Amino acid sequence: MAEQATARPAGGYRWLVFMLLAVGYLLVYFHRTSPAVVALDMMQDLAAGEALMGFLGSAYFYPYAAMQLPAGLLSDSWGPRRSITVFFLLAGGASILFGLADSAGLAIFARVLVGLGVSMLFVPTMKTMTRWFKVSEFATMAGVLLAVGGLGVLIAAAPLAYLSAALGWRGSFLAIGGLTIVLAGAIWVFVRNTPEELGFAPPEAPLPRAAGGGPAPSLLQGMASVIKAARFWPLATWFFFTCGIFFSFVGLWGGPYLIQVYGLTKGQAGGVLSMAAVAMILGSPFLSWLSDRWRSRKKVLILASAAMLVLVLPLCFWPQSLSQPLLYIWCFLLSLFSSSIVSVGFTSSKELFPVAMAGTAVGMVNLFPFLGGAVMQPLLGWILKLGKSPDGGLSPEAYAQAFLVYLAAAAVAFIASLLLTETAPQARPAAKA
pLDDT at position 188: 97
- pLDDT tens digits, one per residue of 162-178: 888 898 999 999 999 99
Split at pLDDT 50, 70, 90, the class of 43 is confident
Host domain of residue 372 = 222-422
In this structure, the answer to whether residues 153 and 242 fall within a common structural domain is no
Query: What is the C-alpha to C-alpha distance for residues 346 and 414, in angstroms, rounded to an integer?
Result: 17
- pLDDT digit string (tens) for 262-280? 999 988 998 999 898 899 8
Write the DSSP string, 67-117: THHHHHHHHHHH-HHHHHHHHHHHHHHHHHHHHH--SHHHHHHHHHHHHHH
DSSP classification of residue 253? I
Could you give the CA distance from residue 369 to residue 391 in angstroms, rounded to a whole number?
36
Residue 208 lies in a domain: no
Does one domain contain both 252 and 364?
yes
| CA distance linking residue 145 with residue 215, whole number of Å | 30
- 80 and 133 share one domain: yes
- pLDDT, residue 357, reads 66
**Does 307 share its domain with 413?**
yes
- Kindly state whether residue 212 falls inside one of the protein's structural domains: no
- Does residue 2 belong to any structural domain of this protein? no
The domain total for the chain is: 2
* Structural domain includes residue 359: yes
* Residue, of 115 and 158, whose pLDDT is higher: 115
pTM: 0.76
Question: What is the domain-level CATH number for residue 395?
Answer: 1.20.1250.20
Q: In 119-231, which residue ranges form alpha helices assigned H by DSSP?
A: 122-132, 135-155, 158-190, 219-228
In a 3-state reduction of DSSP, which class is residue 302? helix
Same structural domain for residues 70 and 198?
Answer: yes
Give 270's Cβ-side CA count (13 Å radius): 24
